Amino acid sequence: MLKEAWTLAVEALSWMEKERISERLALARTARQLEISDVDALRLAHGLVCETVRCRNMIDRFINEVLKPKALSDFSFGVQSFLRLYVYQTRVAKNWDKADLEEAKNVARLARSILGWRTLQPVEPYLGLLLTESPKTLFRSVGDEERVGLSTYHPTWFVRYCFRLFGRSEALAFLEASAKTPPTYIRLNTIKACEDEILKRLEEEKVKVEKVEGLRHAYKVLSTKHPLTRTKSFHEGLFYIQDKASCYAAEVADPKPGMMLLDVCAAPGAKTTYLAQLMQNCGTIYSIDYSRRRMNTWKSEVARMGVKIAEPVIADACNSLPIAVEADMVVLDPPCTSTGAFAKIPSAKWRLTARSAEKMAEIQWQMLENCAEKLKPGGTLVYSTCSITVEENEMLIERFLKWHPEFQLAEITPKIGLPGLRGLTKCQRLYPHMHECNGFFIAKLVKSYAH
């Protein structure tokens, strides 16, 4: 099992490096390729990959320091991946304290059996140094922002951005929380059964939960005997694993039974299935997404949750939407930089640059424009992202309101976050260090009748 897990991890990290894809995609592809289906191996590999990627800047800096005058990039993807995993497992996971020599030897042995001793030979002499060198040297000649970036595992440009946006002490709290895994939340599916019944079932399956204050069907998972996706109640569609912030966005929309609703960028189905639940499975939802692969997941999720009112539409919302309807409500959760979800998708932070938010905002703007034209007068448009940048959120909404005087911001209830920035106090923001969930932004806009 250990060998399978490490083989998966080495290979997945190599794919991520080569093709700049996410952890989840790399692991899924690797598991298929190597035909590994052992759940424990998959879970261990997932943990290794996510945690190694989370601390990537610190790990790489440390390895390059030890390898001097050579560098990580001088070696093959497989060797690079192994060295990163080795430093994570033997040093970072131990908080850089006393190294376990036996474990290090076992890890090296594993690597030889996976990559072949010849491949590993050039870096063998460095393994001892990687085990014993102090990471303190890394902090000697670096400026404040870079030091914070290394110790909280974030790119320097992002640290600088957060300092500017939140001020230093608030930014530090946010960055530290973004480097830790947030709690897991589930939403109980009242389409399938009443809440008390589902809670009883969860208790029988040894899943301990507590209600999220202020939300209707969201619960925080305190402990579980088996992985949630392997419980019977998950397979029966009694709950959906969904971040608190994402549940909040659907509750803010508050759709009513019988409505005609567009869910734009709908895959993999968290929003569609919750909106349908709030509509009591009565009305129509057109779920629009451009990715066929993700829409296949959407189909199975919609079926698992017992949703009867959702129609899939494969289309790119950057172009005019291919359905001739006047919707009562449009819910748009566009692609974003995911700066609020680094804890969940650590690879996102290394793919971005200081310009990414502006580039993303252009895509979001086109989508927002195309959504607005499908809304009937008196209708509601809910816009949300799991990003904390102002370019993708407040600045975009300001620009939209200037171009579209027929839209006004509406009050959001319930209020479980903080008011938006730049004076947009009717919007809501959630933060990992305050709300124990993804960083999130929500705006609710209403289209007036006369214009």
- CATH label of the domain that carries residue 234: 3.30.70.1170
Tens of pLDDT, residues 177-216: 999 988 999 999 999 999 999 999 999 999 999 999 999 9
Greatest mean pLDDT among 20-29, 127-136, 366-375 lies in: 366-375
User: Is the domain of 264 the same as that of 384?
Assistant: yes
User: Is the domain of 298 the same as that of 404?
Assistant: yes
- Res 432 pLDDT > 90: yes
Question: What is the per-residue pLDDT for 297?
Answer: 95
- Res 43 pLDDT > 60: yes
- Res 223 pLDDT > 90: yes
Closest listed residue to residue 451, CA positions, set 395, 376, 382, 393: 376
User: Is the domain of 162 the same as that of 174?
Assistant: yes
Query: What CA dihedral angle connects 353, 354, 359 and 365, to 10 degrees?
Result: 130
Question: What is the per-residue pLDDT for 449?
Answer: 82
- Res 451 pLDDT > 60: no
What letter represents residue 361's amino acid? A
The CA-atom distances, in angstroms, between 280 and each of 186, 198, 444 are: 19, 17, 22
User: Is the domain of 208 the same as that of 87?
Assistant: no
Token pair, residue 195, equals: 């809440």
**Distant-in-sequence, close-in-space partners of 135: CB < 8 Å, separation ≥ 6:** 58, 62, 91, 96
Give the mean pLDDT of 153-175: 97
Of the candidates 162, 265, 386, 437, the residue annotated as catalytic is 386
Token pair, residue 150, equals: 């290394």
User: Is the domain of 231 the same as that of 250?
Assistant: no
Token pair, residue 129, equals: 């140094």
Question: What are the E-state strand segments in 244-374?
Answer: 260-264, 284-289, 310-314, 327-332
- Res 418 pLDDT > 60: yes
* Residues composing the chain: 451
How far apart CA 266 and CA 289 sit, in angstroms, is 6
- For the chain, give the mean pLDDT: 96
User: Is the domain of 196 the same as that of 310?
Assistant: no
**Distant-in-sequence, close-in-space partners of 208: CB < 8 Å, separation ≥ 6:** 221, 222, 223, 224
User: Is the domain of 174 the same as that of 208?
Assistant: no
| 244, 220 contact by CB (below 8 A) | yes
Closest listed residue to residue 14, CA positions, set 62, 81, 91, 87: 81
Question: What is the per-residue pLDDT for 450?
Answer: 67
Question: What is the per-residue pLDDT for 110?
Answer: 92
Give residue 447's region: left, alpha or beta (phi > 0; psi -120 to 50): beta
| 355, 320 contact by CB (below 8 A) | no
Half-sphere CA count of 192, side-chain side, radius 13 A: 23
**Distant-in-sequence, close-in-space partners of 103: CB < 8 Å, separation ≥ 6:** 89, 90
Tens of pLDDT, residues 252-270: 999 999 999 999 999 999 9
From 119, 139, 159, the end of a domain falls on 139
DSSP 244-258: HHHHHHHHHH---TT
User: Is the domain of 169 the same as that of 307?
Assistant: no
How far apart CA 361 and CA 389 sit, in angstroms, is 10
Token pair, residue 199, equals: 């809670």
Radius of gyration over alpha carbons of the chain, in Å?
23
Could you report how far apart the first and last alpha carbons of the chain are, in Å? 65
User: Is the domain of 302 the same as that of 347?
Assistant: yes
- CATH label of the domain that carries residue 288: 3.40.50.150
User: Is the domain of 329 the same as that of 422?
Assistant: yes
User: Is the domain of 234 the same as that of 252?
Assistant: no
How far apart CA 91 and CA 109 sit, in angstroms, is 17
| 127, 119 contact by CB (below 8 A) | no
CA angle 425, 430, 54 (to 5 degrees): 145
- CATH label of the domain that carries residue 120: 1.10.940.10
Closest listed residue to residue 375, CA positions, set 323, 443, 328: 328
Q: Which domain holds residue 194?
A: 185-241
Q: For this structure, is 247 an active site residue?
A: no
Is the model's pTM score more than 0.85?
yes
User: Is the domain of 58 the same as that of 107?
Assistant: yes
Distance, CA of 434 to chain centre: 17
How far apart CA 85 and CA 355 sit, in angstroms, is 30
Closest listed residue to residue 439, CA positions, set 421, 412, 414: 421
- Res 390 pLDDT > 70: yes
Give the mean pLDDT of 337-362: 96
Q: Considering its fold, how many domains does the chain have in total?
A: 4
Q: Which long-range contacts (CB under 8 A, 24 or more apart) does 199-204 make?
A: 201/232, 201/233, 201/238, 202/231, 202/233, 202/238, 202/239
Give the DSSP H or E segment for 159. Answer: helix 156-166
